[in-house]
Structure 1
Amino acid sequence: MTEQIVQLQGITKEFIDGGVSHRVLDRLDLLLTQGDTIALTGASGSGKSTLLNLIAGFERPDAGSLSLLSEITTSWSDNLWSHFRRVSLGVVFQQFNLLTPLNVEDNIAFPLRLNGLDWNSWCDHLVDSLGLRPLLKRHVETLSGGQQQRVAIARALAHKPRLLLADEPTGNLDQLASLEVMKLLCELAAEQDTSIIMVTHSMECAQFMQRRWHLNNGQIHE
C-alpha cells in the first residue's frame, strides 16, 4: 500500500488585517502519497505559501487536522516538528536562502551534519548531475542565480527527504534555466521517490509535475 505523506482534513486558516478577518484556507482537504509530485497554482494572496508553511510546521491551522508520514501532528512538540524538518523534509526557496559564509560544498553538507551524516555517494551524484563539481569550493555569493538555485536543490535533497516543498523555485531564473532546473529537480527526486509540492506561477514548470492543484477561495481544485 502506498504510504500517505501528507493528509489535510478540514484545514482552516485565517488572518486578521486591519480588524478584518480573511480566511485563506477554508476546510481544505488534500492527500499526497509517496512519490506524488504536485504543482500548486493560484492567484497572489490565495494562500499557497501559507499552505506550505502549515505543512512544514512554521504556522499552525486554526481548525482541522494535519497528518505527516501517517502521524497526526496535532500534539507534536517543537522537538518533534524539528525532527520532522531535519530528517524528512527538504525545502527549496525562491530566494535560495543559502548560508553565505559557507562555500557550496558546506551548504550541501549542512543538512547532513544536522543528522550526524557524512558526505556520501548520493551527494556526489547530486553534485555531478547538477554540474556543481567545479564550484564546490566557491562561496555561494559569487555564483549566478542559476548556480545558486542548483546548490539549493542539492542541499534540499542531500539527506534524502521523504517530502520536498518548493516555493517558486525558478522564480528568479530565465526561461531556459528554469526548464533545465525543473528537469533536474524532477529526475533527482524521482530517484529517491521523494514527494513534491511546488508552488509556481509558471504553467511550463507546472507541466513537470504529475498533478496540478489550483487554490481558489480556500479550496483545492484539481
Structure 2
Amino acid sequence: MTDQIVELQKITKEFIDGGVSHRVLDRIELLLNAGDTVALTGASGSGKSTLLNLIAGFERPNTGSLSLLSDDTSAWNDRHWSQFRKTSLGVVFQQFNLLTPLNVKDNIAFPLRLNGLNWDKWCEHLVQSLGLEGLLERHVDTLSGGQQQRVAIARSLAHKPKLLLADEPTGNLDQTASLEVMKLLCQLAGEHNTSILMVTHSLECADFMQRRWHLDNGQVHE
C-alpha cells in the first residue's frame, strides 16, 4: 500500500483586501504519496506559496480538509503542528533563511538538535554530495548564494524528512548552479524516499520532477 503524505480535499483559501474577498485556492483536491516529486507552476500571485504555507501549517484554509501522513490535521493544535514540522518536514526557502550567528555545520545540525539526534554518516554524505566539506566552520554570511543554498538543502534533509517543501529553491542562482542543485536535491531526496513539492517558475527545474501541477484561477491542473 502506498503511503499518503499529503491529501487535500476541497481546500479553499480567501484573503480580504480592502474589504473585498479574494479566493486564491478554490476547492483544491490533491494527493502526494511517498516518494512523489511534483513541480508546482503558475503565475506570480496565483497562490503557489499560499498552498505550501497551508501544507506546512503556517496558514489555515477557510474550508476543506488537509491530511498529513494519513492524519487529519483539522484537530491539530500548535503542538501537533510543531511536532510535524520538527520530525517530518523539510523546507527550502528562496531566501535561504539560514541562522547567521551559526556556522555551516551548526546550521545543518539545527534540525537534528531539535529532534535529539546526533551528527551521523548521512550528514557527512550530505556535506560531501553538496560540496560543503571545507566550509563547515565558516559562518554562513560569508558564503556565496550558491553555497548558502547548498547549506539550506543539507539542513532541510539532515533529519530525513518524509516531505520537502521548496519555494523557488534555485531562484537566486544562475542556470548552471540551478541545474546542479536540482540534480543533487532529487538524488538526495530519492535516497530516503522523501516526497518533494517544489514551487518554480523554471521549466528546466520543473523537468526534474516526476509530475507537474499548474495553479491557475484557484485550480490545480496536472
**Which TM-score band (shorter chain)?**
over 0.9
Query: How many angstroms does 1:20 deviate by?
Result: 1.0
**Could you tell me which residue of structure 2 aligns to residue 34 of structure 1?**
34
Question: Residue 41 of structure 1: SS of its match in structure 2?
Answer: strand
Query: How many angstroms does 1:79 deviate by?
Result: 0.2
**Could you tell me which residue of structure 2 aligns to residue 113 of structure 1?**
113
**Could you tell me which residue of structure 2 aligns to residue 81 of structure 1?**
81
Question: Residue 189 of structure 2: SS of its match in structure 1?
Answer: helix
Q: What CA distance in whole angstroms lies between the structure 1 residues aligned with 2:110 and 2:119?
A: 10
Identity %: 81
Which of structure 1's runs of 4+ aligned residues deviate more than 6 A?
A: none
Question: Residue 76 of structure 2: SS of its match in structure 1?
Answer: coil
Question: Residue 141 of structure 2: SS of its match in structure 1?
Answer: helix
* 2:205 paired with 1:205: yes
**Could you tell me which residue of structure 2 aligns to residue 147 of structure 1?**
147
**Could you tell me which residue of structure 2 aligns to residue 132 of structure 1?**
132
**Could you tell me which residue of structure 2 aligns to residue 180 of structure 1?**
180
Structure 1 unpaired stretches of 5+: none
**Which deviations, in whole Å up to 9, do the C-alpha atoms of 1:80-124 show, x marking residues without a partner?**
000000000000000000000000000000000000000000000
* Alignment TM-score, normalising by the size of structure 2: 1.00
Structure 2 unpaired stretches of 5+: none
**Which deviations, in whole Å up to 9, do the C-alpha atoms of 1:10-67 show, x marking residues without a partner?**
0000001111111000000000000000000000110000000000000000000000
Question: Residue 74 of structure 1: SS of its match in structure 2?
Answer: helix
> One-letter code of the match for 2:125?
H
* C-alpha RMSD over aligned residues: 0.3
Q: What CA distance in whole angstroms lies between the structure 2 residues aligned with 1:130 and 1:161?
A: 18
Q: What CA distance in whole angstroms lies between the structure 1 residues aligned with 2:182 and 2:148?
A: 14
* Alignment TM-score, normalising by the size of structure 1: 1.00
